[in-house]
Each structure stands twice: as structure tokens, then as C-alpha cells.
Structure 1
Amino acid sequence: MPKRVLIVCVGNICRSPTAEAILRHRLREQPDNVVESAGLAALRGMPIDPQAEQVLAAHGLSAGTHVARQISPALIEGADLVLAMERRHLEALRVLAPKAVGKIFMLGKWQRNIDIPDPYGRGAAAFKKVYPMIDAAVEAWLPRIYTHA
């Protein structure tokens, strides 16, 4: 079972930190699991987008301490499971770390490999629409991540 999960999007300020916060919350009783996120073209050093944080807060969660960071081959190789938001992200990740192909998947894999659209710059409604998609995708991964004692 995975112990270190890495979630990837483009800027690492909307989707991936949202998924990170949701998954970290769901795995809170599993302190040996580590959940992280990064971006393919990260807005390095930036906090989570305020609209993404508002949607998280509406669900009792927060990523207020999040700081965007750039993906690297070392981050990919150090993870047990890498989850991407879109199909095009899969290819970029596989190019960065070709030996890690077997642990790189779509976050929406269990929903027929759906792409989770980027809400950045599209207003509050886009963030509200994406949240349940991310939440459902995280929920579908739980049985494959959660380690039973």
C-alpha cells in the first residue's frame, strides 16, 4: 500500500493542493502516510488560490499553509503513487521520470480516467464545480491507499 502520495497539476495552486488537503484529511488516522503536491509549471512560492481555499473552507478543510512547488524527477521517484489531473500531465510526468511509469495514474482513474478541469481564472463557480470531482476521485482511491492494521 502507498505510503507517499504525490498529486500533480499545472500551477500547484488550485487542483493539486485541494486534492492534497482532502486526501490528507481522509488519511488523518494513518500518520505513516505522506500526501504532497507539486506542479508541472508551478507558480513557485505562491499560496493556494483564494477561491480554492474558500471552497475547501466551505467543506471544513484548509490548505492555508500550502506553498506551490515545482515537480522534479526526485519527487516522482520518491513517491509510491503519483496522481495527475489530466491525461496530458501523465505524459509529462512519464517523460520526467520514465522509470516511474508504473506508479503514475490519473486522479480520476476510477471514474473512467476523467480529466479534472483547471478552474484557474474561471471564477468561483468553476472552483465549486471541480471540488466534488476531486473529492469523488480521492474517495475512489482510498481503498487502494488506506493501509489496514
Structure 2
Amino acid sequence: MKRNAGSPRRVLIVCTANICRSPTAETVLRHRLDGAAVEVESAGLAALPGTPIDPRTEAVLAAHGLSAAGHVARRATPAQIAAADLVLAMEQRHLSALRALVPSARARSFLLGRWQGNADIPDPYGRAQDAYEEAYRMIEAAVEDWRARL
């Protein structure tokens, strides 16, 4: 993929706990950007650092030929948010929290589902397996729309 002038070099994807949605989006985006000079990472606003990826999330990724098995949760920090060229959040409440934490990030913070009508991507944690699969489908579509714009 060719980078456009002014394209982000660092993308941060944020959710709540950094064990389901944001590591999924990180894994899918990194895979789609294969070979591009873009650093992709994820973090959670309320993450318990060191928590492994949710097993149901990993199962859905594996079903699509991907893996985040080595992922451990990280808590989003103001420095990490400030260093990112593009910050993508799963829900409007995450976006609001990010912008409150680092006001200077407002112009480069968006919903991952921006190109799907600013759709929130619901948290599948603790729900049935089909919720994880639906979250994956929504994330995959959103990532593809972002990839086309990076």
C-alpha cells in the first residue's frame, strides 16, 4: 500500500479493557496494512495491564486466519494518545474520554465506525459467541474503510 502525503505514521485504537475490540482492530488493521510504514497499537481506557486477550476474541481471529495470542492489555496513557497521529475509538463514550484526557487529540480522534455512520462497535465481552463474531464483522468493515483512507 502506498502512503499518501500526510498519512498517519502512528495509529492508536482504543476500547475499554483492551482484550476484545481494540486488539481485534489492531490485528486486522496491521494485517491489512502489511508492508506500510504505519505503527498500529491498541490500549484500553480501563484496562488491567497484562490481561491476555479474551479467548473468544482469539477464536474469532483464528477463524479468520489471524492471531493476537501474545497480546496483553495496556492502559491508554496521555503520552500514548498525544503521540498518535490517528486515534480510533470503539464508542462515542471512549471518544469523549480520550478528548477530555488529551484535548489536543480532538482533531485526530474518531470513531472506528466513522465511515459506517459514526457507528459504535458494541462490546462483546461476556456475551454469546455470535456477539464476538458480529463485533469482528463490524471491525473488519470499519478497518477496511479506514485502510482505504490511510
| TM score, norm. by length of structure 2 | 0.94
**1:55-90 deviations in Å (ceiling 9; x for gaps):** 000000000111100011101111000000000111
Q: CA offsets per residue over residues 115-139 of structure 1, 9 Å max, x none? A: 0000000021110111110000000
Which blocks of at least 5 consecutive residues in structure 2 are unaligned? 1-6
State whether structure 2 residue 52 is matched by structure 1 residue 47.
yes
Q: Which runs of 4+ in 1 moved over 2 A?
A: none
Q: Which segment drifts farther, 123-132 or 85-94? A: 123-132
Residue matched to 1:19: 25
Any idea what SS the aligned residue of 2:42 has?
strand
Question: Which of the numbers 31, 37, 42 marks the counterpart of 1:37?
Answer: 42
Note if 1:138 corresponds to 2:112: no
Distance 1:62 1:123 in 2: 20
Any unmatched runs of 5+ in structure 1? none
Paired residues, what number?
144
* Code of the aligned partner of 1:4: R
Identity of aligned residues (%): 65
- Identify the match of residue 77 of structure 1 among 79, 82, 85: 82
| AA of the residue aligned to 2:19 | I
Q: CA RMSD in A?
A: 0.7
Equivalent in the alignment of 2:121: 116
